[in-house]
Amino acid sequence: MIERGVRFAISGAVFAADRGSKYWIEQNVSAFDTLTVIPGVFHIIHAQNRGAAFGFLNQNEGHFRVFLLVGVSSVILAYVALQLWRMPKAMWPQESLTAAALAMVFGGALGNLFDRIFRGSVTDFLQVFIGSYEWPSFNVADSAITVGACLLFLALWRAKPQPVT
């Protein structure tokens, strides 16, 4: 069973892991370094993403980009926080999965929003290759959002339809 405090503790842990990892990268890896973890598969780099996922809007300037990235993200983040707050105590494994997934999404989104507001860009540092394809670099917050979204999808897929009364 996942109570409200645990849900927000999960979000806080994701946020702390994201901030800590980004801080370490910013202090120890220059923009020109590549730390090879698994040759041809996984590297650690230091990149600044001023845009959204996969570099979308990275080159755009002005108020539209700020509105879209900070404003819309803030509204969505507030909605997810409200859902986490309102969610009843999870009594069933299905509800616990949904609660944990939302908590991961919230913590990751909060980490990236923090960067956008206070730094103007998001630090990305994980670089993965699949054959000759290079996946766009990402970070702990992006990973938490992705895993959380996949868990939400799984929870929805496994949910039993409720009878209409």
Asked if the structure places residue 165 within a domain, the reply is no
> What is the domain extent for residue 115?
4-34+43-158
pLDDT at 142: 95
Amino acid, single-letter form, for residue 49:
N
Structural domain count of the chain? 1
Residue 1 reports pLDDT greater than 80: no
Asked if the structure places residue 163 within a domain, the reply is no
Confidence of residue 54 (pLDDT cuts 50, 70, 90): very low
Q: Give mean pLDDT, residues 52-65.
A: 53
Asked if the structure places residue 54 within a domain, the reply is yes
Mean pLDDT of the chain: 84
Confidence of residue 146 (pLDDT cuts 50, 70, 90): very high
Q: Give mean pLDDT, residues 95-101.
A: 87
C-alpha dihedral sign at 76, 79, 85, 91: negative
Asked if the structure places residue 164 within a domain, the reply is no
Q: How far apart are CA 110 and CA 144, in angstroms?
A: 11
Asked if the structure places residue 53 within a domain, the reply is yes
Q: How far apart are CA 163 and CA 165, in angstroms?
A: 6
Q: Give mean pLDDT, residues 35-51.
A: 91
Lowest mean pLDDT among 28-32, 62-66, 119-123: 62-66
Asked if the structure places residue 147 within a domain, the reply is yes
Asked if the structure places residue 128 within a domain, the reply is yes
Lowest mean pLDDT among 12-16, 78-82, 139-143: 78-82
Sheet of 42-49: strand order equals 35-38, 42-49, 122-130, 133-134
Asked if the structure places residue 116 within a domain, the reply is yes
Query: What is the pTM (predicted TM-score) of this model?
Result: 0.80
Q: Residues with Cβ < 8 Å from 73, sequence gap 6 or more?
A: 109, 112, 113, 116
Active-site positions read 124, 142
